[in-house]
Amino acid sequence: MAVLCSKCGADVPAGAQFCAACGAAVVPGAPPPSSTTGSGFTPVNVPSQPISTPQPPLGPTAGTQPLPGYTPVQPPPPPPSGYAQPVATAPVIAAGYTPPPPPPTGAFAQPAAARPGGGGSALKIILIIVAILIGLGILGAGAVGFMVWRVAHAIHVGSHGGQITLNTPEGSVTTSKANDFSADELGTDIYPGAKSTSGGMRMALPSGSIVSAVFVTPDSKDQVLSFYKSKFGSDASVFDNTNSAMISLKKGAHENIMVSISARPSENDGQTKISIVHTRNKGAS
């Protein structure tokens, strides 16, 4: 009769000492392997949970004796007969009492007692500043008026025949418009054929004199410039541009002559304009 291998469960012929399937030794009378053999399953022993027993109540129950030293809690005694529970009443306010004002809410407000007369002091300061400014303005206006009065009494203006005379403490200033000038007044010769036009003036100053004259000519700018170059010589300073030129000559330390030449088609009816300024200071020969 075949038996089962105790290791793999295969049939082992009777009398065989080893299993043909797995080679395990056959133990006679060994129980066959269980269904979990070879499956890799290992049973886990789950410890049993102790059974909790109910705790006895802390206080004594009916039919039991209290523990030694136990003192039962006594309820409060009932109020005596006729006792009434007091009712909360509002405090009594004495006659004439004024409650303090409530504290300010929101932004912090300084107590009124900490700022007495603050607005009045600021107003006084402003009024003082305004008074000072007004006083300074009055003083300034008075000073200006005094200066004007002094100038008005120191300068005398007279007009006669187109001539204006201004008398000052330093001397007199005389100006007059004129169209007739001599070469001596201008310090140089007048360009040949040039005609005198408006803009000329004679001025006598305490420090010297200024004579200016304006002329026009149909000749070109270059022709006029060449003429005055020949008159002034190599000591003259010359500035020449496309439509204008200027030549000046200094005679000694107290006399200067300057000639300006302008030739623009849109001005002076297309003619060349000549402006001569002769300046003399005191001490000129």
Predicted confidence (pLDDT) per residue in 80-104, tens digit = 776 666 665 555 565 666 777 776 6
Res 34 pLDDT > 80? no
pLDDT at position 272 is 94
Instruction: Specify the range with the lowest mean pLDDT, choosing from 12-16, 82-86, 209-213.
Output: 82-86
Which has more confidence, 181 or 88? 181
Answer for the pair 175, 164: CB distance below 8 angstroms, yes or no: yes
Query: For residue 83, which amino acid is it?
Result: Y
Res 257 pLDDT > 90? yes
pLDDT, tens digit, 9 for 90 and up, residues 119-151: 678 888 888 998 898 888 888 888 887 777 766
63: left (phi over 0), alpha (psi -120 to 50) or beta: left
Q: What is the mean pLDDT of residues 164-168?
A: 69
In the chain, where are the structural domains located? 1-32, 164-281
Res 223 pLDDT > 90? yes
pLDDT at position 38 is 47
Q: What percent of the chain has pLDDT over 70?
A: 59
pLDDT at position 68 is 67
Select the CATH number that applies to the domain covering 164-281 from these four: 3.30.310, 1.10.260, 2.30.29, 2.20.220.
Answer: 3.30.310
Q: What is the mean pLDDT of residues 210-225?
A: 92
Cα separations (Å) of 139 from 115, 136, 145, 152, 196? 38, 5, 10, 20, 52
